[in-house]
Amino acid sequence: MAGTFAGPVNLRNISWGIDGLGLIVATSLLTIKYFRKGCDFIAAGFLVFAIAEAIILSGTAAGLEASAPSFAAGTSMWATSILMVSFPAEFSLWVRLIGFVASALFYITATQIFWGAPITPLSSPLPFFAYPFLVFTFIGWISMLLKENWSKKAA
C-alpha cells in the first residue's frame, strides 16, 4: 500500500511490485492452509485473490491510465475473492463485515471502470477509500492466524 502514497512514479511502481508479490505468496500459502484444513471455499477465495493480484501486478509498470484494464479485472476478482473468504464463518464477524464492505467498494470500482469511467488505482473517492477496508480485512486475517499460532504453542 506504500505505493499509493509514493510520489515518484518509479518508487510507486517498485512499491506496488513488492506489495503485489508479497500478496501473491501470502494468499497462495493461505490457499494451501485452508485447503488442507478442509475449507475449500475459503481456499478457493485465497486462490482467486492470488490470481487477481497477479493480474493487477501485470499492469503496474504500464502506468496509471494504461493499467486501468488489468486493475478493473483484478479489483473485480479481489471483490469476489474477499466475498468468498468472508461468507463462511471461519473468521470473526468483524473481519467478515469489513470484508463485505471492501468487496462492495471494489465491485463498485471495477464496475465504474468497465462502464468507461477514467479511474486509476489512485482515484478518489474510489478506489482510494476502499483500500483501508482491504487493509483492515488483512489485519483481521493476520490476527486470526496469529491467534491460531499462539494457541498451538500454548497447547
What residue segments make up the domains of the chain, in order of their start?
Answer: 2-154
Rounded CA gap, 151 and 105, in Å?
Answer: 34
Positive or negative: CA dihedral 123, 129, 131, 132: positive
For the chain, how big is the Rg over CA atoms in Å? 16
CB 80 within 8 A of CB 46: no
pLDDT of the residue at 2: 58
DSSP assignments along 44-108, one per residue: HHHHHHHHHHHHHHHHHTT-TTTTHHHHHHHHHHHHHHHHHHHSSTTS-HHHHHHHHHHHHHHHH
Q: Which residue has the higher pLDDT, 30 or 13?
A: 30
pLDDT of the residue at 4: 60
Q: What is the pLDDT of residues 21-42, one digit of tens each?
A: 999 999 999 999 999 999 999 9
pLDDT of the residue at 1: 58
pTM tops 0.75, yes or no:
yes
Q: What is the pLDDT of residues 62-119, one digit of tens each?
A: 988 999 999 999 999 999 999 999 999 999 999 999 999 999 999 999 999 999 999 9
